[in-house]
Amino acid sequence: MAQERLQKIMAQAGVASRRASEEIIAAGRVTLNGRVVIEQGTKADPLVDEICVDGKPLVQAEKLRYFLLNKPLGYVTTVSDPEGRATVMELMKNCPERVYPVGRLDYNSEGLLLMTNDGSLAQMLMKAGNHVAKTYQVKISGKPDERTIAKLRAGVNIELEDGRKVKTSPAKIRLIEDRPNPWYEVILIEGRNRQIRRMFQSVGFLVEKIKRVEFGPLKLDVPPGEFRSLTVREVAHLKSLATNAKP
């Protein structure tokens, strides 16, 4: 990590604002590697140097991490599983920080899953009404007619796991592979548990396979079981979508 000004390091660690941190430095309350520092321009590397405020070592805030994971079939999207099944956490063992899944893909679904330790962003993205588009490739058992697909596009009534009945938001659905058990592309702006399966079941069809291929600006581009860091641009785009989402 490149060296940063002490007041910035202190602010990032949650000691105080940058302005207040400058006052703490000026008061002689900060030491750098055992020496009192009062110069405002002093720089340090928080990963190498020992920085103390009032004699107490600075505790750095956890670095925020963002990853795109290609979840394979046969993994649950939870931190732990009471049934002893494999979780997506096992796929992130080589991650330098502990991250958590944003939303979920069920045991029999696969594809793009966002993993992060940015709790604020995760909370905003998981709101059902955040209007962040999620794209899936879906294989259906049997062949719905166009009238049935039109119903799904407009929104259908489904029953949730807690017994509540809700109407789904309008969805974009198009045929991408015409066969006796066809594949559709489904784009949702909400993410209720097992929503796609419940939608097709409500019109008399079972879903055989589900694969999420896009989440907002993110596109699935790693092999099953692998992950990659998000780019700065991707993170900024996600934050913009989450911040500007409709209530």
Residues involved in catalysis: 106
Q: 80: domain range?
A: 66-239
Q: To the nearest whole number, what is the mean pLDDT of the chain?
A: 90
Q: For 4-46, what is each residue's pLDDT tens digit?
A: 899 988 887 888 888 999 999 999 999 999 999 999 989 998 8
Is 245 within a domain? no
pLDDT above 70 (res 59): yes
Between the alpha carbon of residue 63 and those of residues 1, 22, 101, 132, the distances in Å are 12, 23, 17, 25
Task: Give percent of the chain with pLDDT exceeding 70.
Answer: 96
Based on the domain organization, do 76 and 98 belong to the same domain?
yes
Based on the domain organization, do 40 and 90 belong to the same domain?
no
Q: Which amino acid is it at 109?
A: S
Q: Which amino acid is it at 201?
A: Q
Largest CA distance in the chain: 76
Based on the domain organization, do 206 and 160 belong to the same domain?
yes
Check which CATH number belongs to the domain holding 197 and give it.
3.30.2350.10
Is 246 within a domain? no
Based on the domain organization, do 178 and 215 belong to the same domain?
yes
Based on the domain organization, do 46 and 81 belong to the same domain?
no
Q: Work out the average pLDDT over 221-241.
A: 93
Q: For 67-122, what is each residue's pLDDT tens digit?
A: 999 999 999 998 888 999 999 999 998 887 789 999 889 999 999 999 998 888 88
3-state secondary structure of 228: strand
Helical residues (DSSP H) of 29-180, grouped into ranges? 119-125, 146-154
Specify the number of domains making up the chain: 2
